[in-house]
Amino acid sequence: MTELDVATPAPPALAKLPLDALHRRLGARMAPFAGYDMPLQYEAGIVAETLHTRRAASLFDVSHMGQAILGGAGAARALESLTPADLISLARERTRYTQLLNETGGILDDLLVTRLPGVEERLLLVVNAARKQADFALITAALPQFDFNPLDRALLALQGPRAAAVLGALLPGAEDLAFMGWRAFDFGGAPLFVSRSGYTGEDGFELSLRADHAEDLARLLLAHEDVAPAGLGARDALRLEAGLPLYAHDLDETTDPVEAGLSWSIGKRRRAEGGFPGFERIHSALEQAPARKRVGLLPRSKAPLREGAELYASTDVVGHVTSGGFSPTLQCPIAMGYVASKHANVGATLSATLRDKRIEVDVAALPFVAHRYFKTPVGKDAR
Amino acid sequence: MSDRRYSKDHEYVALDGNVATLGISDYAQSQLGDIVFIELPDVGRKVAKGKEIAVIESVKAASEVYSPVGGEVVEVNPQLGETPALVNEDPLGRGWLVKLRVSDPGECDSLMDEPAYSEFLKTL
């Protein structure tokens, strides 16, 4: 059989996560990802881990992601020169999603930016693992007058409808954080950064803390009956079900934020003022509608359609699949990809070749599984 | 079933007369993870030794299954269309894939028996 290479012992060059020993004790199957030896799945398996996240709560180790602080008066305005988000208006203890863009508006990476509390202007950045060296080099070269400090911290994600109750019992007040809100708590005498965010479509939190404290926190969370560990496989299934693009698959230097369906993350002021790389392309894409769009795809087959498959309207290639797999929640194959705008309306039927068979593929609305992010109740902390 | 023989690619064949039942090992199913679809060959198809005979789709990826012996497909497991997860649950039993009328039963001799396969797994 092919594809059994996940069992090959990792070469020593792979970096280890701070929770490496815990993952192995929990029975994780490890696999290389972005230079790290990562838990692909635990004993429950990808399907069970995905369903558990939608039903209760799962703990993911995402410590491979890059974390850094950009500091100095005017840091938010300066970072706007690399991204299309409105960062000047970003309030303290609030997080915003954006992208680093190249000169033609292509996406170099997508990232989260949090304005940290305090008088000093400091931004916490969380970027993709495979892109962190390139991102950090770009930011330090473009903004040399600012302090830039990569953080060697662990990052855990607690995701699912039970996440708030579980975390709130451990860190009172965490359950009241607004969606994309952020707060520093104390854990073991050191700051634990809690952000109400994630990449599963569920309510949940991302928890950044000292690497040597990560196992204590993970054990406390996993001791709760509602919490189970989940690996990269489930994370990928969850984000695909939630219609969320993954860098290097659905986003890259050839895609711009408008065709990627990320226009919502481009600040209103920025659309008018510009001042970010690729403004001309993005401005015209916003005005005239893009030539192609990222869409959901439902293959009319039992077999999943995988990344790279071409999409046809009669005999013309009109797009391609950028992520494809099987949805544990919907129990059917799902995919996303880019399709020429003319053929990208929900309900349009395209076709693809799967091995030697022609299959029909319906353009579908994203997300496949509705988002259930936390909505702040009236009268509660609305930060 | 002491006559089950394994390939280094983790397929097995169990010979009964000149008909071999072909499947994947327990190790293979555990490495693949949750199996969601299996593409099986048509009955009557002739397959040469070492050539693709089926494709197994797990949540993560598609994996080809190679036939460790040559022959003609005489039956495919009818339950796998509805319940591909049978291969995860019982790979050596109800999760078999294909029955082949083998052209040369002697081809099985070059495959590993159960103890040899167990030893082979320890080297991975």
Residues A209 and A297 in one domain: no
Nearest-by-CA chain B residue for A47: B34
The amino acid present at A257, given as its one-letter code, is: P
CATH no. for B4-122: 2.40.50.100
Per-residue model confidence (pLDDT) at position B1: 46
**pTM confidence score:** 0.94
Residues A194 and A305 in one domain: no
Of A46, A306, A328, which is closest to B62 when you measure between CB atoms?
A306
Pick from A155, A157, A159, A156: which is nearest to A52 by CA? A159
Per-residue model confidence (pLDDT) at position B60: 85
Of A47, A236, A303, which is closest to B34 when you measure between CB atoms?
A47
The amino acid present at A204, given as its one-letter code, is: G
Chain B hits for A47, Cβ within 8 Å: 34, 59
Is B10 in the A-facing interface, judged by CB distances under 8 Å?
yes
Residues A229 and A306 in one domain: no
Is B98 in the A-facing interface, judged by CB distances under 8 Å?
no
Cα angle A382, A242, A153 (rounded to 5 degrees) comes to 65
Q: Provide the number of structural domains found in chain A.
A: 2
> H helices of chain A, where?
20-25, 46-55, 75-79, 132-142, 163-170, 214-222, 232-241, 268-273, 279-288
Residues A298 and A362 in one domain: yes
Q: What is the CATH number of the domain that holds A213?
A: 3.30.1360.120
A100 in Cβ contact with A128 (< 8 Å): no
Nearest-by-CA chain B residue for A2: B63
Residues A165 and A229 in one domain: yes
Asked, for residue A145, whether it belongs to a domain, the answer is no
Candidates B26, B30, B34, B65, partner chain A, best to mutate (most A CBs within 10 A)? B34
pLDDT band at B2 (very low <50, low <70, confident <90, very high): low
CA distance A367 to A201: 9
Nearest-by-CA chain B residue for A357: B39
Number of H helices, E strands in chain A: 9, 20
Is A39 in the B-facing interface, judged by CB distances under 8 Å?
no
Per-residue model confidence (pLDDT) at position A129: 96
CA distance A183 to B20: 63
The pLDDT tens digits for A23-51 are: 999 999 999 999 999 999 999 999 999 99
**How many CB contacts within 8 angstroms connect chain A with chain B?**
72
CA distance A54 to A50: 7
The pLDDT tens digits for B18-71 are: 999 999 999 999 999 999 999 999 999 999 999 999 999 999 889 999 999 999
A8 φ, ψ to 5°? Answer: -60, 130
Asked, for residue A51, whether it belongs to a domain, the answer is yes
Asked, for residue A107, whether it belongs to a domain, the answer is no
- Burial class of residue A362 in the structure, from the number of CB atoms within 10 Å of its CB (0-12 exposed, 13-18 middle, 19+ buried): middle
Per-residue model confidence (pLDDT) at position A289: 84
Cis preceding linkage at A9, omega within 30? no
Rg of chain B over all Cα atoms, to the nearest angstrom: 13
Pick from A292, A251, A278, A272: which is nearest to A109 by CA? A251
| 8 Å CB contact of B64 and A2 | yes
Strands A316-327 and B46-47: unpaired
Residues A180 and A315 in one domain: no
Per-residue model confidence (pLDDT) at position A382: 43
Chain B hits for A306, Cβ within 8 Å: 61-62
Per-residue model confidence (pLDDT) at position A376: 77
Of A6, A302, A303, which is closest to B31 when you measure between CB atoms?
A6
The pLDDT tens digits for A254-296 are: 999 999 999 999 999 999 999 999 999 999 999 998 999 999 9
Of A46, A236, A306, which is closest to B33 when you measure between CB atoms?
A46
Residues A50 and A167 in one domain: yes
Of B31, B36, B66, which is closest to A7 when you measure between CB atoms?
B31
A161 in Cβ contact with A153 (< 8 Å): no
Asked, for residue A237, whether it belongs to a domain, the answer is yes
| 8 Å CB contact of A3 and B62 | yes
Lookup: tokens for B94:
């109800």
Asked, for residue A305, whether it belongs to a domain, the answer is yes
Chain A hits for B81, Cβ within 8 Å: 302
| 8 Å CB contact of A4 and B28 | yes
| 8 Å CB contact of B60 and A46 | yes
Q: What is the CATH number of the domain that holds A304?
A: 2.40.30.110
Query: In terms of residue numbers, what domain contains A317?
Result: 291-383
A339 in Cβ contact with A319 (< 8 Å): yes
| 8 Å CB contact of A355 and B59 | no
Pick from B99, B34, B102: which is nearest to B69 by CA? B102
Residues A232 and A371 in one domain: no
CA distance A27 to A344: 43
The amino acid present at A325, given as its one-letter code, is: G
Is B31 in the A-facing interface, judged by CB distances under 8 Å?
yes
Per-residue model confidence (pLDDT) at position A8: 54
Pick from A326, A353, A351, A325: which is nearest to A339 by CA? A351
Per-residue model confidence (pLDDT) at position A347: 96
Name residues 86-145 of chain A within 8 A of B (Cβ).
none
Per-residue model confidence (pLDDT) at position A43: 94
pLDDT tens track, chain A, 383 positions: 765 554 555 556 899 999 999 999 999 999 999 999 999 999 999 999 999 999 999 999 999 999 999 999 999 999 999 999 999 999 999 999 999 999 999 999 999 999 999 999 999 999 999 999 999 999 999 999 999 999 999 999 999 999 999 999 999 999 999 999 999 999 999 999 999 999 999 999 999 999 999 999 999 999 999 999 999 999 999 999 999 999 999 999 999 999 999 999 999 999 999 999 999 999 999 999 899 999 999 999 999 999 999 999 999 999 999 999 999 999 999 999 999 999 999 999 999 999 889 999 999 999 999 999 998 776 554 44
Is A73 in the B-facing interface, judged by CB distances under 8 Å?
no
Distance from CA of B17 to the nearest CA of A (A): 25
| 8 Å CB contact of B57 and A1 | no
| 8 Å CB contact of B65 and A1 | yes
Is A302 in the B-facing interface, judged by CB distances under 8 Å?
yes
Q: What is the ipTM of this complex?
A: 0.89
Asked, for residue A21, whether it belongs to a domain, the answer is yes
Is A268 in the B-facing interface, judged by CB distances under 8 Å?
no
Residues A185 and A295 in one domain: no
CA distance B46 to B65: 15
Q: How far is CA A151 from CA A18, A34, A357, in A?
A: 13, 18, 49
Q: For chain B, how many residues are written?
A: 124
Chain B hits for A3, Cβ within 8 Å: 32, 61-64
Asked, for residue A159, whether it belongs to a domain, the answer is yes
